[in-house]
Amino acid sequence: MKPIGPLMREHRLIEKMLTVLEKAVDGINKSGKVDPALIDRAVDFIRTYADRTHHGKEEDILFRDLAKKPLTTEQARIMGELVEEHRYARATVGRLIEAKTRYVQGEPALPEIAACLTELAAFYPRHIEKEDRHFFFPIQDYFSAAEQEAMLREFEAFDGQMIHEKYRKVVEEASGTTLSGP
């Protein structure tokens, strides 16, 4: 298997979550309210799975290794755009969290929640298409079979740490302390 395989499979799950976000916006438009728990679950998915796990493998492993290769000007440009797009998604999720907090406190933040959800649902398909169709296939040629195998092992190790990282944060937030170790 090529390293782009797991990344592209992750895209398929992200796309399924986009359907949930679109339905949430429809619900907001029809009912004039939103379930804060749904927003929490969406934020958790985007932050943990789409950003930290998926984008983490891209930025911390794939892009790191690509930076050592003689990329074409076009490929370097696209990689830079992808990093900026990851930052954009993080900022949009941050705005969504702030809007949800205001909504829960009784402030009129529903339009901003809907706008953030709409932005994310519109952003990710374009981002995913750029990676799947215009970036992942050409860049795999930069890596030997051994490098690709090593990258796959590093992806697996990265994924293995994510569950520990996520739930260490849950305990830290619940206890108000900073933990060390796994």
69-91: pLDDT as tens digits: 999 999 999 999 999 999 999 99
Burial zone of 89 (CB within 10 Å; 0-12 exposed, 13-18 middle, 19+ buried): buried
39-59: pLDDT as tens digits: 999 999 999 999 999 999 999
In order, the DSSP letters of 127-149 are HHHIIIIIIHHHHGGGS-HHHHH
Domains of the chain: 4-149 (1.20.120.520)
How many whole angstroms separate alpha carbon 172 and alpha carbon 21? 28
Question: What is the structure's pLDDT at 112?
Answer: 97
Q: 3-state DSSP call for residue 3?
A: coil
- What global pTM score does this model have? 0.89
Taking residues 114-126, report their average pLDDT. Answer: 97
Nearest Cα residue to 120 out of 35, 62, 39, 4: 39
Distance of CA 147 to the CA centre of its chain: 24
